[in-house]
């Protein structure tokens, strides 16, 4: 009697998923297309409009900026529409997540390689070796991301989580709480962006007067790769011209006017993040359940709410007065000469009057 015996040794599974190379290739092509799209909107349209405006003779800055912004917005909407038409009917295979990871990995690898080269030119000191090892580890992890198949796993996970999808999760439920959550995220991010702008944390462009009396942008407020920073020469430039500070010569401008483009990009990213966060299935269900529980709460009537508010404000006002008088009393007592814990008002030095700056 013949008996079929199955082999106990199973074939080894390949370390790399079968679709790994295909997904990497598709993500790389998509990343190039996205970067080309951004380059067209951020650099191509402004350059074309600048040439057209120069030929026509338009010099009004408000008109120039308004038309340029309109053209950029129209180009962005048109390209997004065309790309969405091409993607209609295609299954989510992790390409969108792969494009995001590919661009992120490319930027990290670029700046890590640049930092490694810069650290190697500064000499092999102890601190320099530590910095170089840090950049080498980052580049090694990026290589491992593609070699071990984690790139495919993370790309598919990002797509399945819906971070790059416009679909709304249970769009008719929990609307109030979800809208308030979006508003809260926007307020937090908006306060940070406002702080960056109001405290001048973003680099700015300025006008540079060259020896031939022509004025150009010093490009210190642009994101320039490969440019050379030229310091003004005090021997050839007058003090008025030196106020322009250094300028960047040559190189490729990746992002112009960081003072404006960075806040716009941060708010656009925050808006998209807030929208996707409230539509993330797990978090969205939590917000829906939160609104359902809030609807079960019995709210106090208007008269009771007004009465309790008056009681709280009155108690707060009395407590503020009490603390104020206590602080004034102890400050007066401890500043007396026979105690000497705090300096008296006569012993506090008066601030010196600042002189105006008359030089640069």
Distance CA 68, CA 358 (A): 39
| Integer Cα distance of 118 and 133 in angstroms | 13
Contact at 8 Å (CB) between 39 and 72? no
Instruction: Yes or no: say if 222 and 205 are a contact pair by the CB < 8 Å rule.
Output: yes
pLDDT (0 to 100) of residue 222 = 84
Confidence of residue 35 (pLDDT cuts 50, 70, 90): confident
Do the Cβ atoms of 97 and 157 come closer than 8 Å? Answer: yes
Residue with tokens 């050379």: 228
Angle of CA points 221, 222, 225, to nearest 5°: 135
Q: What are 219-264's pLDDT values in tens digits?
A: 888 888 778 887 776 555 555 455 556 888 888 787 778 888 889 8
Rounded distance between C-alpha atoms, residue 106 and residue 279, angstroms: 29
For residues 249 and 230, the answer to whether their CB atoms sit within 8 Å is yes
CA distance 22 to 19: 5
Burial 305-333 (b: 16+ CB within 10 A, else e): eeeeeeeeeeeeeeeeeeeeeeeeeeeee
Per-residue model confidence as pLDDT tens digits over 86-118: 555 455 578 888 888 999 999 999 889 988 888
Q: What is the pLDDT confidence band of residue 45, given thresholds at 50, 70 and 90? A: confident
**Hey, which residues does 142 pair with through a beta bridge?**
none
Min mean pLDDT across 49-63, 132-146, 262-276, 314-328 is at 49-63
Q: What is the pLDDT of residue 297?
A: 84
3-state DSSP assignment of residue 281 = helix
Residue 348's alpha-carbon distances to 75, 97, 343, 351, in angstroms, are 64, 63, 7, 9
Q: Is the pLDDT of residue 63 over 70?
A: yes
> Sign of the C-alpha dihedral, residues 118, 123, 128, 130?
positive
Residue 244 near residue 214 (C-beta atoms within 8 A): no
- Write the DSSP assignment of 110-127 as a string of letters: HHHHHHHHHHHHT---HH
The pLDDT tens digits of the residues spanning 291-325 come to: 999 888 888 888 999 999 999 999 999 999 999 99
- Which residues lie below 8 Å from residue 65, measured CB to CB, with a gap of 6+? none
Tokens describing residue 33: 């297309």
Output the six-digit token pair for 330. Answer: 């102890």
Evaluate if residue 358 carries a pLDDT over 60.
no
Domain boundaries, the chain: 20-165, 207-256
Q: What is the pLDDT of residue 327?
A: 92
The residues, any chain, with a CB within 8 Å of residue 240's CB and separated by 6 or more, are 209
Task: Indicate the range of 12-21, 97-106, 157-166, 276-285 predicted with least confidence.
Answer: 12-21
Share of the chain above pLDDT 70, in %: 85
Bridge partners of residue 249, in order along the sequence: 228
Greater confidence (90 vs 145) lies with 145
Task: Provide mean pLDDT across the span 62-78.
Answer: 84
- DSSP-assigned states of every residue in 43-55: IIHHHHHHHHHHH
Provide the terminal-to-terminal Cα distance of the chain, rounded to the nearest Å: 104
Question: 249 is written with which tokens?
Answer: 């010569």
Mean pLDDT of the chain: 81
Other Cβ atoms within 10 Å of 43 Cβ, number: 15
């Amino acid at each position: 009697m013949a008996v079929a015996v199955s082999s106990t040794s199973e074939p080894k599974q390949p370390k790399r998923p079968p679709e790994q190379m295909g997904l990497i290739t598709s993500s790389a092509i998509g990343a190039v297309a996205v970067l080309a799209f951004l380059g067209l909107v951020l650099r191509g349209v402004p350059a074309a409009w600048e040439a057209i405006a120069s030929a026509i003779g338009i010099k009004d800055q408000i008109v120039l900026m308004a038309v340029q912004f309109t053209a950029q917005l129209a180009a962005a909407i048109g390209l997004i529409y065309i790309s969405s038409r091409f993607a209609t009917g295609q299954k989510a295979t992790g390409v969108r997540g792969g494009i995001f990871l590919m661009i992120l990995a490319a930027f990290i690898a670029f700046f890590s390689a640049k930092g490694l080269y810069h650290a190697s030119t500064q000499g092999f000191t102890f601190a320099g070796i530590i910095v170089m090892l840090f950049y080498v580890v980052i580049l090694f992890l990026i290589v491992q991301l593609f070699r071990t198949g984690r790139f495919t796993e993370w790309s598919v996970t990002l797509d399945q989580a819906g971070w790059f999808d416009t679909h709304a999760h249970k769009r008719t439920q929990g609307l109030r709480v979800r809208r308030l959550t979006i508003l809260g995220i926007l307020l937090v991010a908006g306060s940070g962006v406002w702080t960056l702008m109001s405290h001048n944390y973003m680099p700015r462009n300025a006008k540079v007067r060259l020896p031939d009396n022509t004025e150009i942008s010093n490009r210190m407020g642009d994101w320039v790769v490969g440019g050379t920073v030229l310091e003004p020469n005090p021997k050839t430039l007058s003090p008025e011209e030196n106020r322009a500070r250094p300028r960047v010569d040559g190189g490729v401008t990746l992002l112009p006017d960081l003072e404006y483009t960075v806040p716009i990009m941060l708010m656009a990213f925050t808006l998209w993040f807030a929208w996707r966060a409230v539509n993330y299935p797990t978090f969205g269900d939590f917000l829906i359940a939160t609104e359902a529980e809030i609807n079960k709460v019995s709210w106090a009537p208007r008269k009771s709410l007004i009465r309790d508010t008056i009681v709280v404000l009155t108690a707060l006002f009395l407590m503020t007065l009490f603390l104020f008088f206590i602080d004034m009393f102890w400050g007066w007592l401890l500043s007396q000469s026979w105690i000497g814990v705090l300096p008296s008002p006569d012993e506090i030095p008066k601030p010196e009057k600042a002189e105006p700056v008359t030089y640069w």
